[in-house]
């Protein structure tokens, strides 16, 4: 698992949480071959729980990429969490204070520089009663089309049992199963040279969310017995 580029506090947070993941989570990670080993890439996840970010970062690191997380700027003003966000070089977004293009400029620059950016396109936990993804916000489409980088759809399932919404402490026992499954990059190449109108952004966003939903449907509809992954740090 890559350590270079994490930053001290981000690395420390991972090293503290890692034993918890190993001991209390049956983690099933699939589809890492879809994540390019270098160059700009967006990892787009569905959003079920506050534990989604931990599982998503684990997925990225197991895919040999150090992610930069796109998140609301208020986290940078939170004790401890703010240290982790600054240390990891994560990307704050001030919601409602600037135009969308300006708010996402640091993310686009990171992608153009060959970084891996992690995003939850819904912007918040799904409010669907059956935990299916909601309609995504256009930020993921804007980043992908401006930077012209692949978007890898990734579905998470089980995080809602590990840390249900509205709770502070995780439910570690009985041991929870968390699945994180990636699919092939979403093809947006036909939209690269189009003006970023609301229609174009909506089309790109729909493709990304449909791909995430398809991956999640596969997790939920098929009962598989999959060997647990080797979670040792490298």
Tens-binned pLDDT, residue by residue, of the chain (234 aa): 444 556 654 565 566 666 777 677 899 999 999 999 999 999 999 999 988 988 999 999 899 998 888 766 666 566 656 545 556 566 777 666 566 567 789 899 999 999 999 999 998 999 999 999 999 999 999 999 999 999 999 999 999 999 888 888 888 888 999 999 999 999 999 999 999 999 999 999 999 999 999 999 999 986 454 444 544 444
CA 150 – CA 141 distance, rounded (Å): 11
CA distance 62 to 58: 6
The CA R_g of the chain, rounded to the nearest whole Å, is 17
Integer Cα distance of 67 and 152 in angstroms: 13
Spatial separation of the C-alpha atoms in residues 70 and 50, rounded to whole Å? 14
Query: Which residue has 């686009």 as its token pair?
Result: 108
Domains of the chain with bracketed CATH: 38-69+96-161+177-221 (3.40.1130.10)
pTM here is: 0.84
Verify cis geometry, omega within 30 degrees of 0, for the bond prior to 174: yes
Which whole-number Å values give the CA distances from 231 to 28, 29, 41, 58, 64, in the listed order?
Answer: 10, 10, 23, 9, 13
Looking at residue 101, its pLDDT comes to: 67
Query: Checking DSSP bridges between strand 176-182 and strand 151-157, what pairing results, if any?
Result: antiparallel
Give the torsion through C-alpha atoms of 53, 59, 63, 67, to 10 deg: 0
43 is written with which tokens?
Answer: 């990892």
Q: Residue 149 in contact with residue 111, Cβ under 8 Å?
A: yes
Task: Tell me the residue length of the chain.
Answer: 234
């Amino acid at each position: 698992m890559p350590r270079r580029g994490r930053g001290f506090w981000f690395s420390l947070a991972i090293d503290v949480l890692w034993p918890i993941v190993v001991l209390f989570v049956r983690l099933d990670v699939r589809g890492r071959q879809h994540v390019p080993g270098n160059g700009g890439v967006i990892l787009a996840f569905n959003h079920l729980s506050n534990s989604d970010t931990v599982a998503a970062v684990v997925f990225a690191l197991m895919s040999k990429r150090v992610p930069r997380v796109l998140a609301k700027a208020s986290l940078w003003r939170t004790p401890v969490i703010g240290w982790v966000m600054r240390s990891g070089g994560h990307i704050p977004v001030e919601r409602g204070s600037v135009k969308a293009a300006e708010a996402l400029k640091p993310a686009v620059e990171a992608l153009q520089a060959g970084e891996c950016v992690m995003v939850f396109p819904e912007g918040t936990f799904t409010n669907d009663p059956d935990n299916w993804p909601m309609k995504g916000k256009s930020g993921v489409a804007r980043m992908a089309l401006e930077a012209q980088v692949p978007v890898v759809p990734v579905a998470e399932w089980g995080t809602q049992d590990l840390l249900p919404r509205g709770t502070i402490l995780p439910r570690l026992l009985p041991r929870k199963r968390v699945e994180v499954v990636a699919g092939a990059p979403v093809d947006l190449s036909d939209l690269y040279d189009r003006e970023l109108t609301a229609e174009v952004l909506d089309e790109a966003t729909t493709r990304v969310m449909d791909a995430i939903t398809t991956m999640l449907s596969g997790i939920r509809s098929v009962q598989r017995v999959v060997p647990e992954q080797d979670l040792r740090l490298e």
